[in-house]
């Protein structure tokens, strides 16, 4: 089965630092060796360069010079790929340049990105194996105001994505609420149980501790 990463990259502020951190994590976790392709949606009004863009496994699937274009455009590129045919079966990790609008000034958001990356990449084998039973896997699964993985890093499958609608490109929180918008079973491999914008959550809180998955099943008429 093919394994893809869909990576939304908004090239403003400290975007290159965030991309470097996540790209390095893809490699150091061993996920790079598993991935078929890293598919990027890139928003930039300037000419930019990064080692990720030159990687032989990288392909740009969406490009815009309008930095008001949100994650929804990259998500919809993923949606379109999943709906090419019923034979397009794959697993996918979704990432984005979390915190880029803070330009590195909010350490809590930086810690949040590190926390999510640890579980979806350092524990990528657990996440991918869990997709045999669950429709999506991530951390900090929240049910209010809509079901979502807070921070919006997650694993899913083309089978689940075909059950969803295209992501709304206007509503700000639509990308975060998208993966949980359909009927299915959702797994969280870790819950921080705090407000990650306002409270720090460093690696000492989770590294080296046993993972304790919890699930939510959603049924909609």
How many helices (H) and strands (E) are present in the chain, helices listed first? 8, 10
CA-CA distance, 29 to 198, in Å (whole number)?
28
DSSP single-letter state for residue 151: T
CA-CA distance, 23 to 19, in Å (whole number)?
6
CA-CA distance, 98 to 116, in Å (whole number)?
10
CA-CA distance, 175 to 197, in Å (whole number)?
18
CA-CA distance, 137 to 132, in Å (whole number)?
11
Q: What is the pTM of this model?
A: 0.96
pLDDT given for residue 150 in this prediction: 96
Return the number of other C-beta atoms located less than 10 Å from residue 128's C-beta.
18
Please give the distance of CA 135 from its chain centroid, rounded to a whole number: 14
User: What's the CATH number for 2-218?
Assistant: 3.90.550
pLDDT tens for the chain, 221 residues: list them. 999 999 999 999 999 999 999 999 999 999 999 999 999 999 998 899 999 999 999 999 999 999 888 999 999 999 999 998 666 789 999 999 999 988 888 999 999 999 999 999 999 999 999 999 999 999 999 999 999 999 999 999 999 999 999 999 999 999 999 999 999 999 999 999 889 988 889 999 999 998 988 888 876 64
β-pairing verdict for 90-96 and 214-218 = unpaired
Q: Which tokens hold the place of 174? A: 């639509």
Please give the distance of CA 139 from its chain centroid, rounded to a whole number: 10
Contact at 8 Å (CB) between 211 and 190? yes
CA angle 106, 29, 117 (to 5 degrees): 25
């Amino acid at each position: 089965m093919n394994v893809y990463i869909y990576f939304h990259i908004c090239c403003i502020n400290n975007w290159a630092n965030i991309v470097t951190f996540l790209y390095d994590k893809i490699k150091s976790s061993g996920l790079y060796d598993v991935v078929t392709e890293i598919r990027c949606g890139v928003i930039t009004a300037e000419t930019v360069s990064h080692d990720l863009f030159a990687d032989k496994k990288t392909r740009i699937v969406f490009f815009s010079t309008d930095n008001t274009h949100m994650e929804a455009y990259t998500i919809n590129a993923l949606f379109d790929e999943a709906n090419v045919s019923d034979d397009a079966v794959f697993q996918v990790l979704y990432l984005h340049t979390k915190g880029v609008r803070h330009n590195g000034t909010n350490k809590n958001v930086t810690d949040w990105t590190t926390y999510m990356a640890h579980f979806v990449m350092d524990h990528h084998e657990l996440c991918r194996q869990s997709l045999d039973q669950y429709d999506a896997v991530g951390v900090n699964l929240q049910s209010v105001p809509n079901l979502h993985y807070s921070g919006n890093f997650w694993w899913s499958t083309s089978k689940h994505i075909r059950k969803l609608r295209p992501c709304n490109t206007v509503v700000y929180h639509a990308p975060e609420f998208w993966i949980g918008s359909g009927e299915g079973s959702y797994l969280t491999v870790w819950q921080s149980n705090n407000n990650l914008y306002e409270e720090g959550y460093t690696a000492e809180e989770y590294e080296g501790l046993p993972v304790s998955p919890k699930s939510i099943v959603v049924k909609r008429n």
